[in-house]
Amino acid sequence: MSKWHFAEVTTSSKGQKTCQLTNDHKPIAFHLGSRLRTRFGASSFDKNVETSRKNLDFDVTNDKQICAMLKQIDDWAIQYIFDNAAKILKKVTSKDVIKENYKPLLTQYGDTIRVRTKINTAGHRVCSCWDEDKGTRDLPEDWLNADYDVQVSIPQLWIMGSSFGLTMETTNLLVHPIENECPF
């Protein structure tokens, strides 16, 4: 992460503030994990509005390596924001306040640890989807009956009010359907 860098803050026409994140001026992308499961599938906050950008959470409870890597990325982001708070947040603030307002990549619900990603289901940055023979396929209709090998990118830091965090996007999925066996 020694060459990771946030660009200047930009504001969209809708008022969303972001900072592009790069590694030596190249996008940050990596293999998140293999045979990951999702508990809810791809969904949006407002169930009544159809959108091509959805949330997609993966259960990483049993993968300590993924958890450690994502914690390290969060720790790097917190330190970078602290060191550059005047430029990024437009004010100098304590590291404790930054930690309090930063939304980490990992969330824990009971005994389950999940990583939240965004997935584009249409448009120019649509997630590519692959079958077990490495051929292209459509995104799953039933997200819950498969395991996934997941590639992600971290394109930016988002800033909304006093909250901020990294955006992690699912860019490629290798789908491993789960075959249901007859219980009789």
What local confidence, expressed as pLDDT, does residue 48 receive? 58
Under 8 Å between Cβ of 105 and 166: yes
Question: Within the chain, which residues score under 50 in pLDDT?
Answer: none
Do 4 and 21 meet the contact criterion of CB atoms below 8 Å apart? yes
What's the pLDDT score for residue 181?
Answer: 77
Instruction: Indicate the helix (H) or strand (E) that contains 178.
Output: none
- Decide: 61 and 117 in contact? Cβ < 8 Å: no
* DSSP states along 18-36: EEEEEETTB--EEEEEEEE
The count of C-alpha atoms lying within 13 angstroms of the C-alpha of 93, restricted to the half-sphere facing its C-beta, is 19
Q: Which residues pair with 26 in a beta bridge?
A: 23
pLDDT in tens, 74-121: 999 999 999 999 999 888 899 999 999 999 999 998 899 999 999 999
Predicted local confidence at residue 39, as pLDDT: 87
Q: For the whole prediction, is pTM greater than 0.85?
A: yes
CA distances, 23 to each of 20, 29, 153, 184 (Å) = 10, 9, 11, 54
Give the Cα separation of 180 and 184 in Å (integer).
12
- In contact, 81 and 164? CB cutoff 8 Å: yes
Q: Note the pLDDT of residue 15.
A: 82
User: What is the per-residue pLDDT for 52?
Assistant: 84
Rounded to whole angstroms, the Cα distance separating 88 from 11 reads: 12
CATH of the structural domain 4-9+34-42+53-177, one choice from 3.30.70.20, 2.40.170.20, 2.40.50.140, 3.40.470.10: 2.40.50.140
State the pLDDT at residue 47.
64
d(CA 87, CA 153): 24
- Structure tokens belonging to residue 168: 């992690």
Cβ count near 35 (within 10 Å):
13
